[in-house]
């Protein structure tokens, strides 16, 4: 039996990267999915790939309440329930120091990264509370826990808000048998960094192989994170294998935020011993 047989899931930001891969894995595991994004051509292609009996694409901006409500209504009209919501939609935020952040860019990033999550939970929660079941998964980041792990301090602050909002809502909805958790990815080989640094979207999404090479040494496990790593974490949280997990931030980073990397630390100690004239 597949892990998501009979379940209905909504995945936002599903036209590329983590969202798209999550949709593919969820359907392979038996779920029916509603997927959203702002690029209609890519969304329709995903719907065709997965099959319209298993996948419905809706174009929408998850920072807009009307679009979020339409997404929830469409899911209920087609499949009658919502078992999982993966608030994955997001994007880059302004880079640079605090003295250079444009107010409009700050406001847009907070809407895209935080308001979208709030709205998804706001409109999914009543449905799940009536059902007395459901799993909400919010996409956080290791940048929520450590500074210097994002190209943007605003992105880091927004993701910290997402992770803490997750915990707050988990305390409310848990009383109704609805679980709310976050996944915090480490360095995942997608186009988001290239987008943040200014590369056009289409070009940015062709940089996956470059990012795989760049992220190899960021964590103890010597490879970049992959979209499958996050999609499989979402699969576990969406499934009945995690029914006692609530208010948790599941960090999927190969150990990146665990502390100082072992081998560079040992090399630094060796150099210090040599400087002090201490025999090995």
User: Which residue of the set 7, 32, 159, 195 is catalytic?
Assistant: 159
Q: How far apart are CA 196 and CA 203, in angstroms?
A: 12
Residue 133 known to be catalytic: no
Residue 141 known to be catalytic: yes
User: Which residue of the set 16, 116, 141, 156 is catalytic?
Assistant: 141
Phi, psi of 69 (to 5 degrees): -60, -40
Residue 69 known to be catalytic: no
Query: Which residues of 25-177 form beta strands (DSSP E)?
Result: 32-37, 55-59, 84-87, 134-139
Contact of 187 with 224, CB cutoff 8 Å: yes
Tokens at 62, concatenated: 């998850």
User: Which residue of the set 155, 156, 184, 242 is catalytic?
Assistant: 155
CB-neighbour burial class of residue 99 (10 A; exposed 0-12, middle 13-18, buried 19+): exposed
Please choose, from the candidates 229, 235, 187, the residue with its C-alpha nearest in 3D space to the C-alpha of residue 208: 187
Active site residues: 141, 155, 159
């Amino acid at each position: 039996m597949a892990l998501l047989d009979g379940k209905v899931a909504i995945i936002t930001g599903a036209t590329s990267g983590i969202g798209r891969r999550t949709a593919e894995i969820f359907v392979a595991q038996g779920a029916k999915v509603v997927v959203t994004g702002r690029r209609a051509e890519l969304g329709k292609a995903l719907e065709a790939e997965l099959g319209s009996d298993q996948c419905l694409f809706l174009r929408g901006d998850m920072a807009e309440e009307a679009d979020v409500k339409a997404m929830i209504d469409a899911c209920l009209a087609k499949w009658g329930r919502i078992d999982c919501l993966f608030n994955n939609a997001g994007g880059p935020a302004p880079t640079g120091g605090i003295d250079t952040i444009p107010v409009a860019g700050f406001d847009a990033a907070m809407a895209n990264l935080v308001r979208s999550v709030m709205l998804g939970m706001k409109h999914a929660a009543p449905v799940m509370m009536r059902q007395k079941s459901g799993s909400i998964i919010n996409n956080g980041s290791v940048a929520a826990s450590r500074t210097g792990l994002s190209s943007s301090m605003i992105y880091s602050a927004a993701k910290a808000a997402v992770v803490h909002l997750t915990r707050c809502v988990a305390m409310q909805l848990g009383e109704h048998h609805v679980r709310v958790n976050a996944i915090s990815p480490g360095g995942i080989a997608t186009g988001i960094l290239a987008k943040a640094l200014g590369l056009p979207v289409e070009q940015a999404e062709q940089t996956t192989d470059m990012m795989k090479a760049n992220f190899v040494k960021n964590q103890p496990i010597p490879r970049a994170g992959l979209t499958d790593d996050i999609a499989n974490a979402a699969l576990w949280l969406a499934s009945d294998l995690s029914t006692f997990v609530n208010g948790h931030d599941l960090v999927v980073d190969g150990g990146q935020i665990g502390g100082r990397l072992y081998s560079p630390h040992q090399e630094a100690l060796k150099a210090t011993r040599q400087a002090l004239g201490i025999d090995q």
